[in-house]
Chains A and B, each alone.
Chain A
Amino acid sequence: MKFFNSKTLEPSGVDTTDNASTEPDKEQPWQELGLKQDEYEEIKNILGRRPTSSELAMYSVMWSEHCSYKSSKIYLRQFGEKVTDEMKKYLMVGMGENAGVVDIGEGLAVTFKVESHNHPSFIEPFQGAATGVGGIVRDILSMGARPIAIMDQLRFGAPNHPDTARVVHGVVDGISFYGNCLGLPNIGGETVFDSVYQGNPLVNALSIGSMKHEDLKLAKASNPGDLVILFGARTGADGIGGVSVLASETFESTGPTKRPAVQVGDPFAEKVLIECCLELFHAGVVAGIQDLGGAGISCATSELASNGGKGMRVQLKNVLLRDESLTPEEILMSESQERMCAVVPKKRLKEFESIVNKWEVEYSVLGDVIDEDRLYINWGHEEIVNVPPRTVAHDGPVYERPVAYPAYQNELNENSSAKLPRAKNATELATQLMQLIATPNQADKSWITAQYDKYVGGNTALSMPDDSGMIRVSEESGLGVALATDANGKYAYLNPYEGARLALAEAYRNVAVTGAVPRAVTNCLNFGSPENPEVMWQFKEATAGLADACLELGIPVTGGNVSFYNQSGDVAIYPTPVVGVLGVIDDVARRIPSGWQDDGNNIYLLGTTYDELDGSAWAKDIHDHLGGQPPKLDLAKEKLLADLLHGASIQGLIESAHDLSEGGLGIAVLEASLRFNVGARIWLGDVLDRDGIDQTTALFSESQTRVLVSVGREDDVKFQALCDARGVPCLRIGVTDATSGLVEIKDIADLKLDDIRQGWSGVMSGLFG
């Protein structure tokens, strides 16, 4: 490869390291690139001179909040510190890599991660959401795994706001387009509407992949002499809006070029890239691999070198371009999709070439790994970057931002739901229940999920509307994984520490009700501006809550993502810590569905109901109230409940299990009936007596650690004995009824299943269809 182009030894006009030394005082647009004065000074300190414009581009993007985690780092550390050896037992790769990897037995491992694509999805919902899916899938691929499923966690503004439909249509279309074209089943997720997300919707995308233990790959370049190869799509001017300021500096005469801030994805190119990469992995020709996402080539080269403790020499003119007018700064920052960067031993180059040629994937050798702590990037014969890679990739600034207890917090917590009027009679209770099931947040989401392919690949065991998605990993043994993600922004707003614990507990419970054993955690922490001390307090509390709760439940955080600056104007979103829990099930044939199917089975409520209506769907959607404290959580009991569910499912005692969460027991009963269109007769008298609560509380309280299960009559004695032995409160509250077409709630109402379905199923299509 040539680092010199002998024909053009004339200076090309780009800002070189020589220029940086000879024109030390040149004005640079560091502020426009989002750097702070002291950060710019620090770059000069590291280099002993001013940075070139290419170096400035690299540092500014790699030191951005998004890439450097500079405001969150000090808090994220506790996910690695609050762990026991027991928790690490199944953890093959932990935080810091592209995605965490978990041993699931039989020589197999899975990798999973959730990432945000919030801001691009507001600007251009379709492409923003589509490239969000593409990006997380490449993260999974870069661990050596075959992507096997996706999920998404969505937060939209008020359903009736005129802009919401634009975002909903674009985002759902984008996810279904990209995922369906890739041939990946979408096995679940969440959709929540709230006006706090109006100007800042949340689009989090999760992917999961599977591999054999020995196929694990890491993003590092550790052998000097190995080649650095960029392959996949060509590099264009995607998503580099911000760097235009540098381009305009380089070409003063032409003025600032308007480069697009968004990226356009090509799922078919990604599908080919996936198959191509997997063949490269299996042939063993790749020593290290990194996907290109945010910060493009800047990130891939500096991280590969830094992770391997080595350096790299790169000829930027070797990058295959879609548009020849790109400047070096733009090439370094481009976020063009469907690209990967591989580190390949020289002697394997021929094999590498024959595989990528077979898949008709374009590639170019950018440079090689060197035994020096330096990243050199040339533009033809001119050197434009000469930096220690670690300072770009890992040793960015770390901030301990000011933290302040929010001024509104006490008032918010004192404003409990206790003063809200409770239903006075049976009719009012029934009306409220029917009202709740037809609110956008509780209503049937199949208008959305029906646009996704749930079954492609033939390994989907559970998907929406069940509590978890479940996918078979081994077709021979039936070994599989269940995955659930949750976040209740209202709870986290009332109490961020508890809110994060509650999100974890709900995801954990959602996995447990399927019969799987929870094993690992991922997260996507969506917050407002870290420069607002009140937001930073929320973040501090939420991360502590999540780390403490993981320690208590004994499952490790394997990785995740932080998304700050989620706000409209000065108003931050509710803190929304999306928590994903992965569970393992030895045979997906043993999975437990969320609804009852047989006639005459007994229905049991596990757990205790307290008067906990603060932050509930009832308070918000019936009374437009949000205040007080979220429900209490006892994780020791949560663990006990999960163990019980696992034990009972192994013995085949449970026919269905459904987690109680938003909307409480009332909504859970209706959902479990709607699942397979089988009714039930429910009586609440025993719950009222045992727990000392009123009917409103019994139906709508969101007390934690509760599950609704149905059990065949023949297994009744065994099941009750199991609950007693494990000390899990268990009360028979009804029987299933496959013939009446009714959900009869004694002393309250006889609700026709058809009426419930009508209210529940038409909401989304009525709003957006």
Chain B
Amino acid sequence: MPKIIVEIMPKKDLLDPQGKAVANSLHREGKKEITAVRIGKRIELHFDREITDQDLEMAKGQAANFLSNDVIEDVVAVTKED
């Protein structure tokens, strides 16, 4: 099924409490070589037909204005996946 994948990450400069908690747990597991963890989200938009360039543009717009909170998040990728 054709889909568009939107990837969103917390802004680089902001605290990511979830990532911090996971990083601490990994350290407790002995994985000291991992210096930091940041956790974002992946959103799949499923289509019932072939995805056009316009669809991709539309998804980029939705990603920036609706799917993410631009005060604290960045959209890092909007890609097509067959």
Contact = CB atoms under 8 A, between A and B. Distances in A.
Interface string B5-25: 000001111111100110010
B72 interface: yes
Contacts of B21: 268
Contacts of A263: 14-15
A238 B17 CA distance: 13
Given A266-B20, A268-B21, A233 B15 contact: yes
Contacts of A124: 69, 71-72
Given A266-B20, A268-B21, A260 B72 contact: yes
Interface residues of B, number: 14
Interface in B44-70: 69
Nearest to B70: A124
Interface string A537-556: 00000000000000000000
A127 interface: yes
A391 B17 CA distance: 36
A167 to B, nearest CB: 13
Interface in A257-303: 259-260, 262-266, 268-269
A260 B20 contact: no
Given A123-B71, A124-B72, A127-B72, A260 B14 contact: yes
A59 B32 CA distance: 40
A264 B20 contact: no
Interface residues of A, number: 21
A264 B10 CA distance: 10
Contacts, number: 47
A259 B20 contact: no
A606 B69 CA distance: 52
A123 B14 CA distance: 15
B76 to A, nearest CB: 16
The prevalent SS among residues of A at the interface is loop
A147 interface: no
Contact of A262 (B16, B20, B24, B72): B72
Contacts of B24: 360
A85 interface: no
B17 A268 contact: yes
A336 interface: yes
B17 A260 contact: no
A322 interface: yes
A266 B14 CA distance: 11
A262 B71 contact: yes
Nearest to B14: A264
A322 B15 contact: yes
Contacts of A262: 14, 71-72
Contacts of A238: 13-15
B15 A336 contact: yes
B17 A236 contact: no
A323 B20 contact: no
Contacts of B71: 123-124, 127, 260, 262
A259 B72 contact: no
Contact of A269 (B12, B17, B69, B72): B17
Nearest to B28: A360
Contacts of A123: 71
Given A266-B20, A268-B21, A236 B69 contact: no
A337 interface: yes
A124 B70 CA distance: 10
B58 to A, nearest CB: 22
A152 B41 CA distance: 31
5 contacts: A237-B14, A264-B10, A266-B20, A268-B21, A323-B12
Interface of A: 123-124, 127, 233, 236-238, 259-260, 262-266, 268-269, 322-323, 336-337, 360
Given A238-B13, A238-B15, 4 more contacts: A237-B14, A259-B13, A260-B14, A262-B72
